[in-house]
């Protein structure tokens, strides 16, 4: 969690991200040099060079993305839901100003339209300048960028989508509204029949109350919900979780190998990793509603094939 008096990153120093778990666990980042710093209307933006980690984007002192391991986050947020949908043509990304999730979405041949709603224009401009490997998709003709609040965009856009991806920062500051019940209800209302959504759902090591409360809401709203994980070493605790929410598709269905092959060379995602991401340890299962936990207690059960799917 960010702190007002937190020291800023400095050249040739160890930067300590504000710790979680009441100060018990945090991330130390070896900063070689500070490449960029700006205070936007919404947040403090830094880009630093961190040796073998590459360039790192920080917002309000919190690591947002890191060149060395960003694929674990962006590939899993994008490809798991898009490969669960039978034919994702219209996609909305809320947040995602660094461009990584957009880059992955555009690898799907079925995608014809992507709207990206980012509250902070400065994040997009910073990514284009300092993280060009992530910000590759903003000029694609299928993409429309909207600067503004994600919840307001959902209320006013009048468009429905096959897939909505919520690529937010942690639940504070400008991202806080993206974790509310009203927001998730708006997401469901924006989905076409058979549509689905995926959202950042944090690490079960760090955000137990948030995960329990969020999945209680999602379980009431959607036909199926599931919690899945990716390994992202630069994120505190080393793992990050996502919520997959569907209006019909069975979330544990294995991906089509042909569609996976169409994505080309990926850095993190595989079909095996897709399926294994839903296999949870007991502490994570204990945070989920009984129906969701029962579904995920054995995601490889043969009865999976008997469940409804798009």
User: In this structure, is residue 6 part of a structural domain?
Assistant: no
Looking at the fold, whether 35 and 184 belong to one and the same domain comes out as: no
CATH number of the domain to which 97 belongs:
3.40.50.150
Looking at the fold, whether 59 and 188 belong to one and the same domain comes out as: no
Do 67 and 131 form a contact (C-beta atoms < 8 A)? yes
User: In this structure, is residue 219 part of a structural domain?
Assistant: yes
Q: Mean pLDDT across the stretch 48-52?
A: 97
pLDDT in tens, 94-129: 999 999 999 999 999 999 999 999 999 999 999 999
Sheet with 90-95: strands ordered across: 143-147, 113-118, 90-95, 161-167, 191-200, 239-246, 224-231
Looking at the fold, whether 115 and 178 belong to one and the same domain comes out as: yes
Looking at the fold, whether 301 and 158 belong to one and the same domain comes out as: yes
pLDDT at 7: 87
Looking at the fold, whether 106 and 189 belong to one and the same domain comes out as: yes
296 — pLDDT class (breaks 50, 70, 90): very high
Looking at the fold, whether 38 and 182 belong to one and the same domain comes out as: no
Q: Mean pLDDT across the stretch 224-231?
A: 97
Across the chain, mean pLDDT equals 92
Report the domain count for the chain.
2
pLDDT in tens, 161-206: 999 999 986 666 555 565 688 889 999 999 999 999 999 999 999 9
Q: Does 307 score more than 90 pLDDT?
A: no
Q: Between 17 and 6, whose confidence is greater?
A: 17
Domain end (from 47, 66, 85):
66
pLDDT at 299: 85
Looking at the fold, whether 251 and 275 belong to one and the same domain comes out as: yes
As annotated, the active-site residues are: 167
User: In this structure, is residue 7 part of a structural domain?
Assistant: no
Residues 6+ apart with CB under 8 A from 119: 42, 95, 147, 148, 149, 150, 174
Looking at the fold, whether 112 and 258 belong to one and the same domain comes out as: yes
Looking at the fold, whether 151 and 167 belong to one and the same domain comes out as: yes
Q: Alpha-carbon torsion 249, 255, 257, 259, what sign?
A: positive
| Separation of alpha carbons 241 and 234, rounded Å | 14
User: In this structure, is residue 227 part of a structural domain?
Assistant: yes
Domain of 141 in residue numbering reads as: 70-306
The rounded Cα 199 to chain-centroid distance in angstroms is: 5
CATH number of the domain to which 27 belongs:
2.30.140.10
Looking at the fold, whether 62 and 80 belong to one and the same domain comes out as: no
Q: What is the pTM of this model?
A: 0.93
Q: Mean pLDDT across the stretch 136-140?
A: 97
Looking at the fold, whether 42 and 95 belong to one and the same domain comes out as: no
Looking at the fold, whether 134 and 19 belong to one and the same domain comes out as: no
């Amino acid at each position: 969690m960010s702190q007002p008096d937190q020291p800023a990153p400095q050249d040739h120093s160890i930067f300590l991200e504000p710790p979680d778990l009441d100060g018990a666990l945090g991330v130390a980042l070896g900063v070689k040099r500070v490449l960029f710093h700006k205070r936007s209307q919404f947040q403090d933006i830094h880009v630093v060079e961190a040796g073998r980690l590459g360039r790192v984007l920080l917002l309000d002192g919190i690591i947002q993305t890191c060149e060395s391991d960003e694929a674990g986050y962006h590939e899993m947020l994008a490809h798991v839901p898009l490969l669960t949908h039978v034919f994702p043509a219209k996609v909305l990304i809320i947040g995602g100003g660094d461009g990584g999730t957009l880059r992955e979405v555009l690898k799907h041949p079925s995608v014809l339209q992507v709207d990206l709603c980012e509250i902070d224009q400065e994040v997009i401009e910073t990514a284009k300048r300092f993280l060009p490997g992530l910000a590759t998709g903003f000029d694609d003709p299928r993409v429309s960028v909207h600067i503004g609040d994600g919840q307001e965009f959902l209320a006013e856009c009048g468009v429905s989508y096959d897939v909505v991806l919520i690529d937010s920062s942690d639940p504070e500051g400008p991202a806080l509204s993206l974790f509310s019940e009203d927001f998730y209800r708006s997401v469901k209302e924006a989905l076409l029949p058979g549509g689905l959504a995926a959202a950042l759902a944090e690490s079960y090591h760090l955000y137990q109350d948030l995960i329990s409360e969020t999945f209680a809401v999602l379980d009431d709203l959607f036909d199926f919900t599931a919690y899945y994980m990716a390994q992202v070493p630069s994120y505190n605790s080393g793992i990050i979780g996502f919520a997959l929410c569907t209006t019909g598709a069975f979330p544990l269905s294995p991906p089509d190998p042909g569609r996976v092959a169409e994505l080309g060379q990926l850095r993190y995602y595989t079909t095996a990793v897709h399926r294994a991401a839903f296999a949870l340890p007991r502490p994570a299962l204990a945070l989920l509603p009984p129906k969701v936990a029962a579904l995920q207690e054995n995601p490889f059960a043969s009865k999976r094939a008997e469940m409804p799917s798009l």
